[in-house]
Amino acid sequence: MRKVMVMLLAGLLAGLGAWLYLIQREPMHNTIIVYEAGRSLASLPLYVASARGFFADQGINVKLYPGGTLPSRPPEEVDVCVAPFDRLPRDSVAFALLTGCPDCFLYGRQPQSTFTWKDMQGKVIIGVEPAADAEVVLEHILRRYGLRPQTDVHLLQDLPVALRRPAWEAGTGDYILLPQPDGLWWEQKGKAHLVASLRDAGPVLGTVCAAPRAILPAREDLYARFAAGLYAAQRWIGSHSPEEVAAQIGSFFPHLNYGTLLHGVSLYRSAGLWAETPEPARKAYDRLQEMRQQAGEIAIPPPYVRHVNPRAALRGIQLIELIEAQKEKTP
């Protein structure tokens, strides 16, 4: 009898220990570590979802780490990596979309009230590295307007990032391709003037949220809730003024004043850069691969399923639309 009681007590203690362990671990099950390749207005839905509590509404705790601040874990081991589609970690899969275009704008030396891409004839553009999607999209736009890259328009693609600003300030180039928020800062200082976005190329995969390929299927429910938070933020952004949007994100950009943030938000909205839903659509992927192939960066486009899994985003969209439909039915 005593032996039986000891065994029952041991089993009870083991069960209690497991229960306490699960209670302590449960918050981690709902925590998503997000690594940002760089802080940018391209990721605005991410910041709005955090600031407005849209992630919390989905029962998840999202922790954001801008580039260079992630403690003790390399980017390929985080839950979500936010980056341009061409800069994702190896063995990761894009599952949600933030922008439908690379996060770069074309700047000139003087303000231009009217601009057409045909104005690039005979000009020099300080670009980015040849294989970058922003450069690929830029070349596609030039070709659409009958301009041959490196023949009708000279693209400086071999300048290291650290030398692009000194080269521009020294007088090199007529135009320069700048990511954000660098472009906003340059414009604020009067060093460059915005003339165009890359949205003229049509919708492609720009800045995306990616997850490790090995864990995405097993944690699809968690990623679906993350995508739902993003979609709620995208809907909120679309229904509120630039002033209201800019007021939500000041803490994420302490080096930019409100006026500059407002200008940036207005710029992104007028250019149509932010995606309306988090779905990384096959059509946008295929368009980007065609541009890469046209630029000579790839011989055969890889299949969509190798780099993109839209299931979590589609589930997140359905979840928010269901919630909104239920709200409309409630008197």
Residues 317, 232 contacting (CB under 8 angstroms): no
- The answer to whether the beta carbons of residues 125 and 138 sit under 8 Å apart is yes
| pLDDT for residue 9 | 41
Q: Give the model's confidence band at 328: pLDDT under 50 very low, under 70 low, under 90 confident, else very high.
A: confident
| Mean confidence (pLDDT) of the chain | 88
| pLDDT greater than 90 at residue 68 | no
Position 69 scores a pLDDT of 64
Measured distance CA(182)–CA(272) in Å, rounded: 19
Distance CA 184, CA 191 (A): 10
12 forms beta bridges with: none
Q: What is the CATH number of domain 30-101+205-329?
A: 3.40.190.10
Domain 30-101+205-329 and domain 104-201, same fold? Reply is yes
Q: Is pLDDT of 74 > 90? A: no
The CATH number of the domain covering residues in 104-201: 3.40.190.10
Residues 6+ apart with CB under 8 A from 204: 100, 101, 102, 133, 137, 284, 285, 287, 288, 291
Report residue 72's pLDDT band, with 50, 70 and 90 as the boundaries. Answer: low
Rounded average pLDDT over 22-50: 79
Output the pLDDT for position 239.
96
Tens of pLDDT, residue by residue over 215-232, are 999 999 999 999 999 999
Mean pLDDT of 78-98: 93
Name the more confident of 181 and 290. 290
Question: pTM for the full model?
Answer: 0.86
* Domain ranges within the chain, ordered by starting residue: 30-101+205-329, 104-201
Q: How far apart are CA 131 and CA 178, in angstroms?
A: 16
Closest among 36, 97, 83 to 285, alpha carbons compared: 97
The C-alpha atoms of residue 301 and residue 186 are separated, in whole angstroms, by 36
Query: Peptide bond preceding 181: is omega within 30 degrees of 0, i.e. cis?
Result: yes
Res 133: pLDDT: 93
Judge whether residue 256 has pLDDT over 80.
yes
- Contact between residue 55 and residue 24 where contact means Cβ atoms under 8 Å apart: no
Q: What's the confidence (pLDDT) of residue 16?
A: 35
Cα 73 to Cα 27, 42, 46, 69, 79: the distances in Å are 19, 24, 21, 10, 11
DSSP string for 110-154: S--SS--GGGGTT-EEE---TTSHHHHHHHHHHHHTT--BTTTBE
